[in-house]
Amino acid sequence: MSHNILRVVNAVALLAAACNAEPLSVDRCNIRLAVISPDPARLEVGQTVTLEAQLTPAPACLPADAQSANFRWTSDHPGVATIDALTGRVMATGAGTAQITLVTAKTHTLLTQSSVQVDVGEIARGSSLTRNAADRPRRAGIPGGRDDAPPGNKQRR
């Protein structure tokens, strides 16, 4: 048992020597370094939104290149949402959820992550806005007649 205590004492001494005899401290920077809005972003296929990031007021924790001009945006699922790396403009490309990551350009320090949720939406589901004339109902009593045909061009019996 005295050997185990001796090992612990030696380990502490090695740690102190490795840290230049500075006392170990709790990592105060285990925080989100930025906040994205909207978070989460909710879109329908074809819609866009520009995400905005605000840095956390913790200058001691931020890398030197943590300035908005040095932000880089990425999407983990371009089939759901693409994002402009420099501007943060998101385009919804398919149904699902994509994780958006914000890092600094030079040091690649992770600042924060957010999500974009994309729904198919009414237009993409085939609402009346996207149907063609062949999908429209025929006029009762007029074979081949269409609701949208001009009055003089409707077929008569």
Residue 12, pLDDT > 90, answer: no
What is the model's pTM? 0.60
How far is Cα 18 from Cα 79, in angstroms, rounded to an integer?
47
Under the banding of pLDDT at 50, 70 and 90, the label for residue 138 is very low
pLDDT at 52 over 90: yes
The model's pLDDT over 24-48, given as tens digits with 9 standing for 90+, comes to 444 457 778 999 999 999 999 999 9
Q: How far is CA 148 from CA 86, 141, 152, in A?
A: 46, 15, 12
Q: What is the pLDDT of residues 144-157, one digit of tens each?
A: 544 444 555 545 44
Q: How far apart are CA 66 and CA 111, in angstroms?
A: 8
Instruction: Indicate the burial class of 41 (C-beta count within 10 angstroms; 0-12, 13-18, 19 or more).
Output: buried
53-105: pLDDT as tens digits? 999 888 788 888 888 888 999 999 999 999 999 999 999 999 999 999 999 99
pLDDT value of residue 151: 52
Residue with the larger pLDDT of the pair 142 and 108: 108
What pLDDT is recorded for position 103? 94
117 Cβ contact partners less than 8 Å away, ≥ 6 residues apart: 40, 41, 42, 43, 96, 97
Residue with the bigger pLDDT between 115 and 18: it is: 115
What is the C-alpha separation between 29 and 38, in angstroms, rounded?
A: 24
